[in-house]
Amino acid sequence: MATASVAFKSREDHRKQLELEEARKAGLAPAEVDEDGKEINPHIPQYMSSAPWYLNAERPSLKHQRKWKSDPNYTKSWYDRGAKIFQAEKYRKGACENCGAMTHDAKSCMERPRKKGAKWTNMHIAPDEKIETFELDYDGKRDRWNGYDASTYAHVIERYEARDEARRKYLKEQQLKKLEEKNSKNDGEGEGGGVEDSDEDDDNDELKVDEAKVDESKQMDFAKVEKRVRTTGGGSTGTVRNLRIREDTAKYLLNLDVNSAYYDPKTRSMREDPLPDADPNEKFYEGDNQYRMSGQALEFKQLNIHAWEAFDKGQDIHMQAAPSQAELLFRNYKVIKEKLKSKTKDTIMEKYGNAATEEEIPMELLLGQSERQVEYDRAGRVIKGMETSLPKSKYEEDVFINNHTSVWGSWWKDHQWGYKCCKQTIRNSYCTGAAGIEAAEAATDLMKANIARKATSEDAPAPAEDKKLATWGTEVPEDLVLDEKLLTEALKKEDERRREEKDERKRKYNVRWNDEVTAEEMEAYRMKKVHHDDPMKDFLN
């Protein structure tokens, strides 16, 4: 076992420690003693009461496990806040250039920056702060309340007490005011009415007492905290307050029909209405979906939808990460939307008028009558008088481009639109006028003449000779005449072809293929063909 090395501040300290140990072994130096005055064996750790049997003091031991560093003097005190130690009368070298204190520099100065610092004015020198350093232990460094003065909490208690006192005073004033009004009414009505009022007041007081008791029981039940076991809210680690009054009927007891609204016992939720046919004015519970589609739940849903749509459109908005920002943007969106809606409405009303206003429309506008006299002929054309202006479209009309004198679509031919002025079917073409029309007609006539001339010049195709291909079939006509010489040559060629099929080495590299088969070649192929159904096929060759 090797001894662990101990860090020393210098080699001199290390040398002195070694000399001291050697002197203690030789008995020349006093041995170390603990708090009780007992001698400490340097080879036995402090947490050991006695040395084990296997420990040999003459050899390396467990000395490196000893707590050789002495404990510092830990303190429980804290910084003296705002304490001053010395007030100088003139500026000192190295002090703060702004206030003149020696305990900090100008960069760390907490005073207001002066127009001329204390270094140049030599006036209003700030006192030096009290600077303290503490060496805290492990717990002291991690104590959240270290240095906290409990007396500073007194002003919080005083503020709450003042609030409760003001509330009690206000309630007392309200009660006195009600008593004065009640006494004034009793004096004016008489004795009979006073007796009835006193009875009603007693009943009201009793009701108030009962209501106070009920409220107190509700508050006590609300303050009760129960543990949540196996719920969707987070398992048994969370807690929930019991918000249900025990006098209320449970959801699953409102309708005992098996086919009624489903009750989930795990989440204690019933989404549908258990009594859909009952009177809505008499129903106390209409299902959990009622709360989702009413009140602030609907607004929250709209807020979520707005956040999603805004995020999809590129805005940096997130409902869970920054809910305040999302709500503020949603409010701004609603304000802008209302402004735009009102602006659009005003624009439409300004242009077309408002039929709901109380202003009476002139009869001329209602009936379309006027004092203007216009004469028409039988065809409906205006003869005399001012002609009514035609209603204008929102599209541009009578706009002529590229030197055209008519608009696009004023001419139609062969399922194509064009310009009437030049009879062109290309939208962005330049107008050529009457000359263009004549050139187009001449080109059409020339094309027709060329087509007719080509049709007349082409000779009629010669009638195809009807070749009898009877030799291709299985039936051979009776009038078929074969040349013996050609048949002999065809038989030789057929034999050569069959020999080439059997021995591929005799096959030529360049093969000339001829698809014209004569009657003699067909007869030679039929004669050489092997008929598998022929019983004498083995005796042919």
Q: Residues 463, 468, 469, 473: is their CA dihedral positive or negative?
A: positive
Same domain (yes/no): 318, 287:
no
Does residue 255 fall inside a structural domain? yes
Does residue 207 fall inside a structural domain? no
Same domain (yes/no): 306, 337:
yes
Same domain (yes/no): 30, 55:
yes
Q: How many domains does the chain have?
A: 4
Give the list of residues 6+ apart from residue 135 with CB closer than 8 angstroms, or none.
72, 73, 74, 75
Q: Domain containing 29: what range? A: 11-65
Among 414, 433, 456, give the residue marking a domain's end.
456
DSSP, residue by residue, 324-335 = HHHHHHHHHHHH
Question: What is the chain's pLDDT, residue by residue, as a tens digit (541 residues)?
Answer: 444 444 555 666 767 777 777 766 666 555 555 555 555 555 555 445 566 666 666 666 666 666 555 555 666 678 888 899 999 999 999 999 999 999 999 999 999 999 999 999 999 999 999 998 888 878 888 888 888 888 889 999 999 999 999 999 999 999 999 999 988 888 777 655 544 555 555 555 544 444 444 444 444 544 455 555 555 544 554 555 556 666 778 888 888 888 899 999 898 899 899 998 888 888 888 888 888 888 888 889 999 999 999 999 988 889 889 999 999 999 999 999 999 999 999 999 888 877 777 667 666 666 666 777 888 888 888 787 766 666 667 777 788 888 898 888 888 988 899 998 988 888 888 898 888 888 888 988 999 999 988 888 876 555 555 444 444 555 666 777 888 888 888 888 888 888 877 776 766 666 666 677 888 888 888 888 877 777 777 776 5
DSSP, residue by residue, 137-169 = -HHHHT-TTTT--GGGGHHHHHHHHHHHHHHHH
Does residue 164 fall inside a structural domain? no
CA angle 97, 99, 102 (to 5 degrees): 75
Does residue 43 fall inside a structural domain? yes
Report whether 457 contacts 451 (CB < 8 A).
Answer: no
Among 440, 456, 472, give the residue marking a domain's end.
456
Among 328, 351, 374, give the residue marking a domain's end.
351
Same domain (yes/no): 407, 450:
yes
Does residue 413 fall inside a structural domain? yes
Measured distance CA(430)–CA(426) in Å, rounded: 9
Does residue 424 fall inside a structural domain? yes
Measured distance CA(409)–CA(424) in Å, rounded: 10
Measured distance CA(418)–CA(413) in Å, rounded: 8
| Pairing status of strand 375-376 against strand 382-384 | antiparallel
3-state class (DSSP) for residue 84:
strand
| Pairing status of strand 239-241 against strand 382-384 | unpaired
Does residue 344 fall inside a structural domain? yes
Measured distance CA(397)–CA(391) in Å, rounded: 12
DSSP, residue by residue, 93-129 = TTS-TTT--SSS-STT--SPPPSS-HHHH--SPPPEE
Does residue 30 fall inside a structural domain? yes
Same domain (yes/no): 15, 54:
yes
Measured distance CA(164)–CA(438) in Å, rounded: 107
